[in-house]
Amino acid sequence: MYSESDLLMLSAIQHLAFCERQCCLIHIEQAWAENRLTAEGRILHDRVHAEDSESRGDVYIVRGLKLRSLALGLSGVADVVEFHRAEIGGISLPGKKGLWIPFPVEYKRGKPKADPCDEVQICGQAMCLEEMLNVKIENGALFYGALHKRHEVIFDEALRNETRKTAERLHELISKGITPSAVYEKKCDRCSMIDICVPKAGSKKDVGKYLDWILTSP
């Protein structure tokens, strides 16, 4: 179990599952760059969080719910947590009759990815909710804006193990404070950090050295 002072950003496990170097540039080097894709994603999240909680029949919708897991050493904010009415196995909610099962929903601007980085992030949210509320959560969903469609995610043991390993790796990298060297992949072309990372150059410079190089170049 981690302590409160050990908690890292829940969103960082999505960055790590996508690219270790990107994760370290953001969370160790404190570097960030935005492009059209990240701007659209930020606007989508802002719109979701700005809406109020609401009830729709047997579903109670809460937005911007704070999350924490001492087992994973992570904390963050969920885009949406739907509480579905249940006959058994649920929890009680203040001011609500009956039992309810949490169903986390994470909003993404694009389309499903080839790697499991989005699935790891939503699974991390579910594991936080399970620890906080002492309830079992079987599934959740990723909503992709480009498709205007939900992609259901089953929180099986394989995905849970991948999420635990990713969280452990995140703590390991942050504690060491060393950013991995750049390795170019096709996905780099759509990354907002590409001009800082310079993967095609095979850069081994940290951000500070890279900026010095830019400023001193003719």
How is the chain split into domains, by residue range? Answer: 6-216
Which pLDDT belongs to residue 218?
A: 52
Which pLDDT belongs to residue 202?
A: 57
**Which residues contact residue 124 at a Cβ distance below 8 angstroms, ignoring those fewer than 6 apart?**
10, 13, 69, 72, 74, 163, 166, 167
Which parts of the chain sit beneath pLDDT 50?
203-205
Which pLDDT belongs to residue 140?
A: 98
Whether 59 and 80 have beta carbons less than 8 Å apart is answered as no
Indicate the fold that domain 6-216 takes in CATH.
Answer: Lambda Exonuclease; Chain A (3.90.320)
Torsion region of 134: left, alpha or beta (phi above 0 gives left; psi -120 to 50 gives alpha): left
The sign one gets for the Cα dihedral 33, 166, 72, 67 is: positive
Predicted TM-score (pTM) of this structure? 0.84
Torsion region of 60: left, alpha or beta (phi above 0 gives left; psi -120 to 50 gives alpha): beta
Cα 197 to Cα 208: distance, rounded to the nearest angstrom: 11
Whether 33 and 193 have beta carbons less than 8 Å apart is answered as yes
Torsion region of 48: left, alpha or beta (phi above 0 gives left; psi -120 to 50 gives alpha): alpha
Which pLDDT belongs to residue 44?
A: 65
The dihedral formed by the CA atoms of 167, 163, 81 and 89, expressed in degrees to the nearest 10: -120
Burial class (CB in 10 A: 0-12, 13-18, 19+), 70: middle
Torsion region of 106: left, alpha or beta (phi above 0 gives left; psi -120 to 50 gives alpha): beta
Beta partners for 103? 82
